[in-house]
Structure 1
Amino acid sequence: MNISVVVPLYNEDESLPELTEWIRKVMLENAFSYEILLVDDGSTDTSWEVIEHLKRSHPEIAGIKFRRNYGKSAALNIGFEAAKGDVVITMDADLQDSPDEIPELYRRITQEKFDLVSGWKQKRHDPLSKTIPTKLYNAATRRMSGIKNLHDFNCGLKAYRKEVVKSIEVYGEMHRYIPVIAKWAGFTRIGEQVVEHRARKYGTTKFGLSRFINGLLDLLSIFFVGKFAKRPMHFFGTMGALSFIGGSICALWIVIDKLVLISNNQQYRNATDQPLFYFALVAIIVGFQLFLTGFVAELVSRSAPERNSYQIEKTV
């Protein structure tokens, strides 16, 4: 199979018939063998009924329904697990991503040998309250990840080699940083393609202001996990050792200073009367705790439970 199109969705019953028909048209014009995976993230409208109807008419469409709303990352992760195509295309269900971009994305994966090609909505149909924070996060992500050639990490329209989606794990709200996850997994041939961003035709956006706070937390998380997931002791142990050594040096200084004063028959203060004593004590305790945290994290990382366990209600 040439292409798997993975579409995560939440309350998009109005757009699904038009979207799937548009995708089918593009696939037939280019003679692609394909499947369309519609992952219903616990919709409360009639999205699942629409998917069932589309499945009866078009066998290349498959549907997966979550029992409740888990989020876009969960929907993508399950879609990646089910995908069978050599190239996997992801797009949003709100018709803001154009299926006409699929042939070029497919060509760049198969002919230019990219691992991942991410869309760039160079001209956006979004308010400034959304575009300005997005630019700031993209700039921060480029700096922290070292992926300098991407302008829009969070674009829903992306193309992947099959090996990429089968090798990465997307959880929490990490869908914003899939290129970073792919890079940490060893897939470094990452490209970008300018894509059309269309105005929303049906419904309203499902993302609020909390996405910007979550985005910052996710960025810090993915940076830490990417660098230290397999070696947490390197992070916590280093911080703990520095704190412990610094506290020990301060404590030793207090002792030496007291001994010098005693040897010279000079008056001295009790150690507990000096602020440096409490600094040294705290530094030693914190250092010891950080070291223990690193040790426990090492044990956990060797036997970590699965992060992605979702209750699937139905499949078609």
Structure 2
Amino acid sequence: MLDISVIVPLYNEEESLPELATWISKVMDEHKFSYEVIFVNDGSRDKSWNVIRQISLNNPNFKGISFSRNYGKSAALHTGFKAAEGRVVITMDADLQDSPDEIPELYRMITEEDFDLVSGWKQKRFDPISKTIPTKLYNAVTRSISGVYLHDFNCGLKAYKKEVIKTIRLYGEMHRYIPVQANWNGFSKIGEKVVNHQARKYGTTKFGLERFLYGFLDLLSITFIQKFGKRPMHFFGTMGILAILAGGFSAFWILGEKWWDIAHNLKYRNATDHPFFYLALTSVIIGTQLFLAGFLGELLTTNSDRTTDYQIKETTGEIKEI
């Protein structure tokens, strides 16, 4: 088994790839690691794929996977994880802001300190304030909701045991929540390492502020899926019971008022004239619908893999499994 698999998702990074490949090779050779580097080209429109093919020809340790179109970072990482064969899997960005010099220490923390996952922490960042402040808020919210206490969930530089990444399913913008998924999958020994963050040397960032909104929505999604994905009736059934109880309470309230008025020879209103009547009716209808949603959810828990079907256009190097 290889010591290390390095997964590098990328989109329009032709200028940085040769320098990154040379840097990774230098680190691996100095420490005598057996390794593979898998570049996952996420539908780049520049010459990134041509550069990857040339790198792969010059060094068989480098491999490439190219999507037919842009799917996003989560898709690239998911596909890279499926292809990885190393004992330790390390992810890093292709823009040279993540330093390959961190690889030996990350490898040591996984193999010697027996961490399931080690996440990088860019304690000192070379990003504009428009990016750093939303990132801090995003990290605080993620820590609060997930219960996983990391400073920098969005750092692309992470290391994993192979068995961890084989349990992870990524789509949408879920790549930010790999530590959360790993923790919920039982891999709870999660470490953190302060890593060097370097200023971008080539090109511009491929992410806008909308990623924080999408990221928050995905956090809510993954929290729901992890808690109720295998038992949707627990969620929808509970909500349905509460809605039906609210309707039942309103109905008994109306009946109670009517009986009181009759017992005391008072003039009473028809049930349909009472505002609680419509509350009761609406609550019962909603409760019934929630129960039906729960039953349908139970039928759909056959765990279709279609959410992680990504069309691959081409590969280079020896990719044994995707």
Task: Name the TM tier (shorter chain).
Answer: over 0.9
1:185 aligned residue: 185
How many angstroms does 1:209 deviate by?
1.7
2:54 aligned residue: 53
1:106 aligned residue: 107
How many angstroms does 1:303 deviate by?
4.8
Unaligned runs of 5+ in 2: 317-322
How many angstroms does 1:216 deviate by?
1.1
Distance 1:303 1:96, change over 3 A: closer
Unaligned runs of 5+ in 1: none
Q: Distance in 2 between matches of 1:306 and 1:163?
A: 22
How many angstroms does 1:132 deviate by?
0.8
Q: Distance in 1 between matches of 2:129 and 2:230?
A: 39
1:255 aligned residue: 255
* Equivalent residue runs for 1:3-42 within 5 Å: 3-42=4-43
Q: Distance in 2 between matches of 1:154 and 1:229?
A: 24
Q: Distance in 2 between matches of 1:274 and 1:126?
A: 60
How many angstroms does 1:260 deviate by?
2.4
1:131 aligned residue: 132
How many angstroms does 1:288 deviate by?
1.0
Aligned residues: 315
What residue identity is the alignment partner of 1:293? A
TM norm structure 1 = 0.98
How many angstroms does 1:277 deviate by?
1.1
* Equivalent residue runs for 1:44-193 within 5 Å: 44-148=45-149, 150-193=150-193
1:199 aligned residue: 199
Instruction: Flag as ranges the 4+ runs of structure 1 deviating above 2 A.
Output: 302-306
Task: List per-residue Cα deviations over 1:90-113 (Å, max 9, x = no partner).
Answer: 000000000000000000000000
Instruction: Tell me the secondary structure at the aligned position of residue 192 of structure 1.
Output: strand
Q: Distance in 1 between matches of 2:305 and 2:281?
A: 36
Q: Distance in 2 between matches of 1:112 and 1:227?
A: 30
Q: Distance in 2 between matches of 1:89 and 1:260?
A: 72
Q: Distance in 1 between matches of 2:39 and 2:302?
A: 34
Q: Distance in 2 between matches of 1:44 and 1:277?
A: 61
Q: Distance in 2 between matches of 1:95 and 1:314?
A: 25
What residue identity is the alignment partner of 1:265? N
Which range moves more in the overlay, 207-216 or 91-100? 207-216
Q: Distance in 2 between matches of 1:52 and 1:192?
A: 34
1:294 aligned residue: 294
What residue identity is the alignment partner of 2:57? R
Task: List per-residue Cα deviations over 1:104-163 (Å, max 9, x = no partner).
Answer: 000000000000000000000111111111111111111111112x10011000000000
Distance 1:294 1:128, change over 3 A: same
How many angstroms does 1:83 deviate by?
0.3
* Equivalent residue runs for 1:268-283 within 5 Å: 268-283=268-283
Query: How big is the alpha-carbon RMSD for the aligned residues of Structure 1 and Structure 2?
Result: 0.9
Q: Distance in 2 between matches of 1:147 and 1:235?
A: 23
What residue identity is the alignment partner of 1:67? S
How many angstroms does 1:305 deviate by?
4.2
How many angstroms does 1:252 deviate by?
1.6
Which range moves more in the overlay, 23-32 or 285-294? 285-294
What residue identity is the alignment partner of 1:256? G
Task: List per-residue Cα deviations over 1:169-208 (Å, max 9, x = no partner).
Answer: 1111100111001111111010000000000000000001
Percent of aligned positions that are identical: 66
Q: Distance in 1 between matches of 2:75 and 2:166?
A: 14
Instruction: Tell me the secondary structure at the aligned position of residue 307 of structure 1.
Output: helix
How many angstroms does 1:269 deviate by?
1.1
Q: Distance in 2 between matches of 1:133 and 1:290?
A: 35
TM norm structure 2 = 0.96
How many angstroms does 1:302 deviate by?
2.7
Instruction: Tell me the secondary structure at the aligned position of residue 88 of structure 1.
Output: strand
Which range moves more in the overlay, 96-105 or 296-305? 296-305
Distance 1:181 1:42, change over 3 A: same
What residue identity is the alignment partner of 1:44? R
Q: Distance in 1 between matches of 2:305 and 2:54?
A: 37
What residue identity is the alignment partner of 2:143? R
Distance 1:237 1:11, change over 3 A: same
Instruction: Tell me the secondary structure at the aligned position of residue 131 of structure 1.
Output: helix
